[in-house]
Amino acid sequence: MYLQITTRCNMSCPHCCFACTAKGEDMSLDTFREAMSMCEGDHITLGGGEPTLHKDWDTMLLEALGNTSGPYDDGSLFIVTNGSITKRALLLAKLAKSKVLGAQISRDEYHDEIEQCVVDAFEGIESDNQYSNTPSPGVRNTTQYSEPKPYGRAIALLGLDEEEEDDLPRSNGFDCMCSTTFVKPNGDIHQCGCPDSPKIGHTSTGYDSPMTGECCHSSYFHDACLENKEEYEHLLA
């Protein structure tokens, strides 16, 4: 489960699929704790925006660690950061090296520069993670082998017109922005992180997914996100 604990970010990368800015929404502690109660013992990702900007970051980190079971290679807590808040980034790198959690910094041509000590710390993480359902800690470059995913600010970066934007995910098989159950800061739960992903519940009431484990841009894309939404009206309310 991916918890988008904030949509705020202190960078404005042109390829950001969530189009995050300095202004945004933070998840409340009550909503965070409701989400935690729904995924006890499961793999959890804390993300954003830039998650370490959250005013309750220290509390959320500790409570998430208490809600999961390590070591990380058994699939517990994972965090993606831009590394801009140096002390917090170095702490995450240290915890990742000890396999208390998994952590990556996002580094590519679009990100702002950060302190070299943070880059060195994450590049020094060795991973023997053999689990296909959990990412490997270290440095994350989302554009190393492909173009940015065509969502958010990346639409303008790629120069897509409206017709191309509509056609790309379906015809060219683009991956999801986040292909796991996705919790927004307000507690709404969606099948995945894509903007047209069905809402399937809320942290206060639980969720019911007709496609558990399936990304909305997989073989379920048309059924779930475009053509047959009426079939799932009770989930999309």
Tell me if 45 sits within 8 A of 80, measured CB to CB. Answer: yes
What is the domain range of residue 114? 2-236
φ, ψ for residue 159, nearest 5 deg: 70, 35
Strands 44-47 vs 77-81: parallel, antiparallel or unpaired: parallel
DSSP assignment letter at 52: G
Residue whose pair of structure tokens reads 């809402």 in the numeric block: 199
- CA 125 to centroid of chain Cα atoms: 21
Domain count, the chain: 1
Alpha carbon distances (Å) from 129 to 3, 135, 173: 22, 8, 27
Tell me if 79 sits within 8 A of 45, measured CB to CB. Answer: yes
Residues 6+ apart with CB under 8 A from 187: 27, 31, 34, 35, 202, 203, 204
163: left (phi over 0), alpha (psi -120 to 50) or beta: alpha
Using the predicted structure, report yes or no on whether residue 215 has a pLDDT greater than 60.
no
Average pLDDT over residues 27-53: 91
* pLDDT tens-place string over residues 219-233: 444 344 444 445 544
When pLDDT is cut at 50, 70 and 90, the band that residue 76 belongs to is confident
Using the predicted structure, report yes or no on whether residue 182 has a pLDDT greater than 50.
yes
The strand ranges marked E within 24-101 are: 44-47, 77-81
Using the predicted structure, report yes or no on whether residue 237 has a pLDDT greater than 50.
no
Average pLDDT over residues 119-146: 66
159: left (phi over 0), alpha (psi -120 to 50) or beta: left
The CATH code of the domain that includes 225 is 3.20.20
* pLDDT tens-place string over residues 199-208: 889 999 988 7
- Mean pLDDT lowest among 40-54, 75-89, 159-173: 159-173
Average pLDDT over residues 155-159: 81
Using the predicted structure, report yes or no on whether residue 94 has a pLDDT greater than 90.
yes
- At 188, list the tokens: 């709404």
Whole-number percent of the chain with pLDDT over 90: 35
Which residue did the predictor score with more confidence, 72 or 163? Answer: 163
